[in-house]
Structure 1
Amino acid sequence: MIIPVRRFAVTCALGTLGVALAACGAPGTPHAARPGHPASASAAPSRPPTLAPGPAGLTPVFKNGPRTPDKTVALTFDADMTADQGARAAAGEHFDNPKLIATLRGFKVPATVFMTGRWADEYPEEARDIGQDPQFEVANHSYSHYAFKDDCYGLPTMPEDKMRADVERAYAAFKKAGVPHAMPYFRFPGGCYDRTALRALSAVGVTAVQWDVVSGDAFATDADAVARQVLEGVRPGSVVVMHCTRSAAPATEKALRTIIPELREQGYRFVKVSELIGRAAGRHR
């Protein structure tokens, strides 16, 4: 999701994230073990938590976790790449940000990465590296990064009858790249959705994820301003939306080096989105 660098009120049209799970992998599939990480293929985790369907069976929407005194916060990162940006990548534009991932690892901060399938096709080794690291969880940000609603920051619009297939194609791309356990969470490109989009994805059987803190990192060059906006917005149970795309969010990695120590100083514990959803659904982990 790419949004302009400005603070704005979170609305249904621009602030909601959706979730979809394709049949390419059951939610309970264990992480694959890999060198340097403690994950074990023999340890089967429980099914990732999701919310019950909304009214009329629509895809349910999650915005933030419980406002409990234990002060948890989830940092989420969009790995954006639109389907038609291959030529730009071939010309040298960087839609990845390995330094940001390394910084999260250095600080031992768990995070949720909302990845487009096109990004996984372009950077399969990085997708696999993130997806096989138990510190992170990979969620779906569509395959094409086309909008699921009209008038969404100039993005091409995905036809209603193609929405579900686009989400499933992203899960197939993750599986092809070697991500063993993509989560049943989906973020709408641009954060734009409506009832039609929620209905189109309802058959996939997943939870939509919202955020309550906009980092303002998209196209930002002032890392201090990004850090300040996050620190001013975070509350217990917050979901922060950021980006891990060098070309579209060049200041994010530097901002994290301020955000993480400051939130820890304030007593916050970093968690993945799945933990917040589990708490909201009554599953304490």
Structure 2
Amino acid sequence: MITLVRRAVPLCLLAAALAACGTPEPPARPEAPRSASASPSPSASVRPSVPTLAPGPAGLTPVFSHGPRGGGRNVALTFDADMTADQGPRAAAGERFDNPGLIAALRELKVPATVFMTGRWAEEYPEQARSIGRDRLFEVANHSYSHYAFTGDCYGLPTVAADRMRADVERAYAAFRKAGVPEPMPYFRFPGGCHDRAALKELTAAGVTAVQWDVVSGDAFATDADAVARQVLDGVRPGSVVVLHCTRSAAPVTERAVRAIVPGLRRQGYRFVKVSELVGAAHGRT
């Protein structure tokens, strides 16, 4: 789950990690052929020449929060497909960690978007993961396998041990490939957005760019779609990355909010792009 500011939300709700989206539809592009020697690392499993950032100071994993503020009114809507590793029994009991209506709305409105998906979610909903991943309107990025925190004290989430952080990211990429996502992006969003220097160091070898945001939608556990839409419309600036969620159980008003956000931003002259386009505009292809 992603929030921009910490809120006094009961831990039992925070443990109900938000989740993702999608309805199966015919593939929009064929799966790319893979080399027999492909490894689990992002560099071997994503398309070449995808825009990424150069490593940060001391070679740490780079962090991206927004694109250029000038040169065009571009905005990226991102959706976190959250499901924690231990929520299988809840899914089996009927809790839905998906939101087909939201993905259908994005398709209807012709809005490009980046979906930060957990590996556990891709395992639970492989047809939906494949449908999203093969649709050129979207790009799939990494939100960890387990949706466990990469730091301590992160909204009550369980914590990944430091020596397992890279493996958790690579396990998510493996889950995407198994589900049939042909071209996952080398972008990673920390669960809860929580990270520190140690986490950035542990992920250096994974070859990912960490993607944060500069606009929080407030859709997590929200019941007022208009309030969510207003928060986004008031917060967006050129180059913004907006964090939203798609789940029927923990972010129930997101589809309605998006149906207000999209025409509202278009009236302001904004153009919707994927995160990759903002990264490319900011730093070129590396």
- TM, length-normalised to structure 1: 0.86
Equivalent residue for 1:155, pick from 154, 157, 177: 157
Q: In 2, Cα distance between the equivalents of 1:210 and 1:4?
A: 9
- Give 1:35 deviation, angstroms: 3.9
Question: Aligned residue pairs: how many?
Answer: 257
Q: Does the alignment pair 1:166 with 2:158?
A: no
Task: Give how far 1:248 is off.
Answer: 1.2
**Alignment match of 1:275 (pick from 255, 263, 277):** 277
Deviation at 1:2, TM superposition (A): 3.7
In the other structure, the counterpart of 1:197 is: 199
Deviation at 1:3, TM superposition (A): 3.1
Note if contact 2:4-2:216 (Cα within 8 Å) is conserved in structure 1: no
Shift of 1:205: 1.4
Residue segments in structure 2 that go unaligned for 5+ positions in a row = 8-24, 34-45
User: What SS does the corresponding residue of 1:65 show, helix, strand or coil?
Assistant: coil
For residues 88 and 2 of structure 2, the distance between their equivalents in structure 1, rounded to whole angstroms, comes to: 17
1:108 paired residue number: 110
Question: Which residue does the alignment assign to 2:42?
Answer: none
SS at 1:74's partner residue?
Answer: strand
Q: Residue 129 of structure 1: SS of its match in structure 2?
A: helix
Q: How does 1:72-83 map to 2 (within 5 A)?
A: 72-83=74-85
Q: CA RMSD in A?
A: 2.1
- Name stretches of at least 5 consecutive residues in structure 1 with no aligned partner: 8-33
2-side partners of 1:67 and 1:78: how far apart?
24
- 3-state SS of paired residue (1:176): helix
2:237 to 235, 238, 244: 235
1:221: Cα distance to partner? 0.8
**Corresponding residue to 1:225 among 199, 224, 227:** 227
1:145 maps onto 2:147 in alignment: yes
Deviations 1:149-180 (A, max 9, x none): 00000000110000000000000000000000
Report the secondary structure of 2:203's partner residue: helix
Q: 1:216 to 1:167 in 2, by over 3 A?
A: same
Distance across 1 between alignment mates of 2:173 and 2:110: 26
8 Å CA contact 2:149–2:190 kept in 1: the answer is: yes
* 3-state DSSP of counterpart to 1:226: helix
Percent of paired sites with the same residue: 76
CA shift in 2, pair 1:184/1:4, >3 Å? closer
Partner residue, 1:87: 89
Q: What is the alpha-carbon distance in structure 1 between the residues aligned to residue 217 and residue 56 of structure 2?
A: 28
Cα distance in 2, alignment partners of residues 242 and 184 from structure 1: 20
- The code of the aligned residue for 1:246 comes to R
Q: Residue 3 of structure 1 contacts residue 153 of structure 1 at CA under 8 Å; is this kept in 2? A: no
Other-structure match for 1:262? 264
Shift, 1:45, TM fit? 6.7
CA positional deviation for 1:208: 1.1
Alpha-carbon distance in 1 for matches of 2:241, 2:188: 14
Q: Alignment partner for residue 206 of structure 1, among 185, 205, 208?
A: 208
Q: Which residue of 1 aligns with 2:22?
A: none
Q: Distance in 2 between matches of 1:271 and 1:235?
A: 13
**C-alpha displacement at 1:36, in angstroms?**
6.2
- Alignment check: 8 A CA contact 1:220 1:226 kept: yes
Q: Tell me how far 1:68 sits from its aligned partner.
A: 1.5
Which residue number in structure 2 is paired with residue 121 of structure 1? 123
Separation of aligned partners in 1, 2:260 and 2:123: 32
Aligned equivalents of 1:191, 1:5: Cα separation in 2: 10
